[in-house]
Structure 1
Amino acid sequence: MKFRRLHYFVAVADELHFGRAAARLGIAQPPLSRQIKALEEELGASLFNRSRSQIRLTDAGEILRERARDILDRVDSAEEAVRQAGAGTIGSLTIGFVSSATYSVLPDIVHAFRAENADVELTLVPMNNAGQRDALIQRRMDIGIARPRIDDDELRHETINRERLVVALPATDPLAQRSALTVADLANREFVLYPDKPRPTFADHVIAICRSCGVEPRVAQLVYDYQTAAGLVSVGVGVSLVPESTATGERRGLVCRPLNGVKAETELSVNWRIDNRGPLVHRFVETARSVSRRLLA
């Protein structure tokens, strides 16, 4: 059944007059009559009782009018939804993020994106770089907010924030009484590093910083993410180097101090598939760029 014939039928059913229906549709009456007759032949049922003075819907016509309107409304709705999805105004995005990103620019990016894209559903999933890489490669996720970046031939990435590293240590550690620390001050401390895999990771970045200062860090434990590392530091398992933004989050038993004597930085990145040309992905990336520029200005 052709949608055009259904459209013509509804016009005649509304007007109960072929001349008025033809005018409403912007076509001549004879072609309209032929299309209605073809529809009746296709369905094997008369849709109108015709007389010289008037036409009326048959029982079959009454049923078709109700169903035809619903069908045409659904088609119109589907067309509009497809147009909006193509324009990136509706749809959904799944975004993976490292936990430390919640202390940095991620909340501002999400708020800004939602303010401009209220009809887009965002699903935010905490996961480390390894999980993000796998999810992006397997197309189970659209965007990854990683620390640092995810290096893969199938992925594209951009840095959205750079920040200094600070020392996280137990509040009971004597070093907590100092206003600032150096890597040399940590030579006799055990480290809690994250994530534990795959290597190389942010943990290896911290190890490299220590070695550049002549200190071989003693690793007490490698853990899944920042939240776990911070918890272990707070109960005295060891010390760690963490992004400066995380120092704003209060955690009982943990203090943060500036790290002097070395350029120790970390970057936060937005990552997506090279072949993902979806408008929502690129709109989110552009929002991340815009928020990053504003916050760094």
Structure 2
Amino acid sequence: MDRFALECFVALAEELHFHRAAERCHISQPAMSQQIRRLEKELDVRLAHRNKRTVSLTRSGEVFLVEARKTLRQMDLAASLALRTDRGEIGQLTVGVTSPALYVIFPEVTALFRARLPNVGVVVREMTTAEQERALRVGDIDVGVVHPPLDDPTLASEEIGRSPFQLALPEGHPLTAHQEVALADLEGEQVVIFPRQIAPQLYDTVILLCRDAGFSLKIAMEAHPAQSIIALVASGVGLGFIASETQRLVRAGVVYRPIREPRPYLGIGVAYHRDSVPPAVGAFLDAAREAGRSLR
């Protein structure tokens, strides 16, 4: 049973006239009669009474009309859903996000993305940059919010913005008297920093900038996310590196100060398959680029 046969029957049932039904379906009257006879033969039931003057539906035809209309609507819906899925207008997008990016930019990216594609669900997985590279390779995620550059040259990545690091200081620490803190001021201080596996190149950059300032950074503890670093600062473990103003959580006993240049920056970017960018991924990339302008 094909769609056109159902359309012909519905047209006949609504027009109750073979000629008008044929015109509506853009076929000849004999072809319309043939479509109806073929459908009746396939169903092994008579759908309409007809003579030279009148056409009327049988009881079976009336029942079949209700279901034929439902079937045509369902076919239209199925075709529409398939097309919208192909265009990336509906479906699901699985996104990997580093823990710093969850606070620095991801809420803005998600808001922009959902405004453009409200029917696409977003599944978020907190992962390091290295974990996202592996997940992209095997298809576990569709796109990633990472800290570039990547180690895998087969994946595409681009930086969308940079956010300067700040320091979380225990209330009453001598450095709180400064409006800005230089890296050289950290000589001899115990610090709390994110683990290297979160962003290896960024971690190494912090260490090198401190060496360029004339000292070796004393790492008291590695921790993430930002709440953990701030809690450790509040407990007196050391001074904390946080990625941006958005991570400056209000907590008793902790104050924040910007770091004077030269200072480390948290680079945030997107990672994806360079040879395959489905529409939903493309929309996410556009949203990320737009949100990233606020970090520049």
Q: In terms of mean alpha carbon deviation, does 284-293 or 100-109 score higher?
A: 100-109
2:162 maps to which residue? 162
1:223 maps to which residue? 223
- Residue 71 of structure 1: CA displacement? 1.3
Cα distance between partner residues in 2 of 1:4 and 1:34: 12
**Identity in percent:** 34
1:75 counterpart letter in structure 2: M
1:51 counterpart letter in structure 2: N
TM-score, normalised to structure 1, is: 0.86
2:49 maps to which residue? 49
Q: Give the 4+ runs in structure 1 shifted more than 6 A.
A: none
Instruction: Report if aligned partners of 2:148, 2:157 keep a CA contact under 8 Å in 1.
Output: no
1:117 maps to which residue? 117
2:6 counterpart letter in structure 1: L
Cα distance between partner residues in 2 of 1:280 and 1:199: 26
Instruction: Give the RMSD, CA atoms, in angstroms.
Output: 2.6
Q: In terms of mean alpha carbon deviation, does 277-286 or 146-155 score higher?
A: 146-155
What is the correspondence of 1:166-181 to structure 2 with a 5 Å cutoff? Answer: 166-181=166-181
2:239 maps to which residue? 239
Cα distance between partner residues in 2 of 1:195 and 1:5: 66
Instruction: Report if aligned partners of 2:166, 2:244 keep a CA contact under 8 Å in 1.
Output: yes
Task: Determine whether 1:2 maps to 2:2.
Answer: yes
Instruction: Report if aligned partners of 1:168, 1:242 keep a CA contact under 8 Å in 2.
Output: yes
1:107 maps to which residue? 107
- Residue 67 of structure 1: CA displacement? 1.8
3-state secondary structure, aligned to 1:66: helix
What is the correspondence of 1:79-158 to structure 2 with a 5 Å cutoff? Answer: 79-158=79-158
2:189 counterpart letter in structure 1: R
For residues 186-206 of structure 1, give each alpha carbon's deviation from its aligned partner in whole angstroms, at most 9, with x where no partner exists: 232223222353673543332
3-state secondary structure, aligned to 1:21: helix
1:173 counterpart letter in structure 2: H
Q: In terms of mean alpha carbon deviation, does 132-141 or 9-18 score higher?
A: 132-141
Paired residues, number: 296
Q: In terms of mean alpha carbon deviation, does 186-195 or 7-16 score higher?
A: 186-195
Cα 1:40–1:153 change in 2 (3 A) is farther
Cα distance between partner residues in 2 of 1:201 and 1:251: 30
Where does structure 1 lack aligned partners over 5 or more consecutive residues? Answer: none
2:64 maps to which residue? 64
- Residue 35 of structure 1: CA displacement? 1.6
2:211 maps to which residue? 211
What is the correspondence of 1:31-46 to structure 2 with a 5 Å cutoff? Answer: 31-46=31-46
Cα distance between partner residues in 1 of 2:13 and 2:195: 68
2:164 counterpart letter in structure 1: R
- Residue 185 of structure 1: CA displacement? 2.4
